[in-house]
Chain A
Amino acid sequence: MGAGDILFFLAAAVSIAAAVVAVTDERLLHSVLAFGVFLFAIACAFLIMGAEFVAVAQIFVYVGGVAVLILFGVMLTASRGAQRTVETEHPMWAMVCALVLAGTLIAVAAAYRPATAVQSRAVDVSLLGNALLGPQLVGFELIGLILLASVIAALAVVRREPGR
């Protein structure tokens, strides 16, 4: 039971528990808090896998950005109360679909044998920078475009329509 194993089980247990609470909790505030814990656990899982910069980037963008955005949504839409936010008419079918999905994914995962051995040395930040500005330059520029497009789209949706 090396350090990696214990840390992995810790991160896995916390992330699954937090995801379940985030998905099933009645009170919206509790599920958003559980979502925050889930994101932190996923950042720890990234660190276990040696992706240090990605783990910190996850905390910076997801915990600092997306979770804050969702909390803004909760604050602005008065949906804080304990009114029923769960239970479509037939949650059982959703459970069945989820179980089938989980079953197939786990079966495929168990059957997969990676061709090359797993390298455990961490990827240094400058290596990541080289990859980002070198071979992945197209993606780098496209992300800028996507950011611009999403700002224009979001503001168009939210702005009061002058026309009407």
Chain B
Amino acid sequence: MTRFLVLSGLLLAIGAYGVMTRRNAICTLLGLEIMLNAGNLNLIAFSRVSPSPAVGQTFVLFSIGIAACEAAVGLALILAMWRRYRTVDIDKLVSLKE
């Protein structure tokens, strides 16, 4: 049980590092998905100790569904950004500053 929590903690940290360092918007989306998966791992680990594991697993199904929606909308933003600025490099998104 604790081994799964340790694993998901590590994965969350890796995902966070990815989101923080990558300049490419698609890699940020990737890092975000890694963090979400770490969360799902935790949900399942705790569902095994809960009185009704089936309910815990429905949470993970919902979380997978929401993560898929989030990836879809995130990609829509990236494509809109690509069409407007012809780059997916987040550091170039500074037009608000001007």
Contact = CB atoms under 8 A, between A and B. Distances in A.
* Contact between chain A and chain B defined by CB under 8 Å: yes
Given A16-B11, A19-B11, A77-B26, A116 B34 contact: no
A42 B35 CA distance: 12
Contacts of A28: 24, 26-27
Interface string A96-130: 01110110011011101011111110010001101
Main secondary structure of the interface of B (DSSP, over half): helix
A106 B54 contact: no
Interface residues of B, number: 68
A113 to B, nearest CB: 8
Interface in B48-71: 48-49, 51-55, 57-62, 64-71
Contacts, number: 232
Nearest to A67: B33
B77 interface: yes
A73 B77 CA distance: 11
Given A84-B23, A118-B48, A132-B58, A35 B9 contact: no
Contact of B44 (A49, A135, A139): A49
Nearest to A35: B30
Given A22-B30, A102-B9, A153-B73, A76 B82 contact: yes
Contact of B26 (A79, A102, A106, A118): A79
Given A8-B3, A118-B1, A123 B65 contact: no
Contact of B2 (A88, A110, A154): A110
16 contacts: A12-B7, A20-B14, A23-B27, A23-B34, A45-B4, A50-B48, A57-B64, A76-B79, A88-B20, A94-B20, A105-B5, A112-B2, A116-B51, A154-B72, A157-B80, A158-B79
What are the 10 tightest A-B residue pairs by CB atom distance, in nearest-first order? A105-B9, A109-B5, A23-B18, A102-B13, A94-B20, A131-B54, A150-B69, A98-B17, A154-B76, A85-B24
Given A51-B57, A98-B17, A109-B9, 10 more contacts: A23-B14, A49-B45, A51-B47, A69-B72, A97-B20, A98-B16, A106-B6, A120-B48, A128-B58, A157-B73
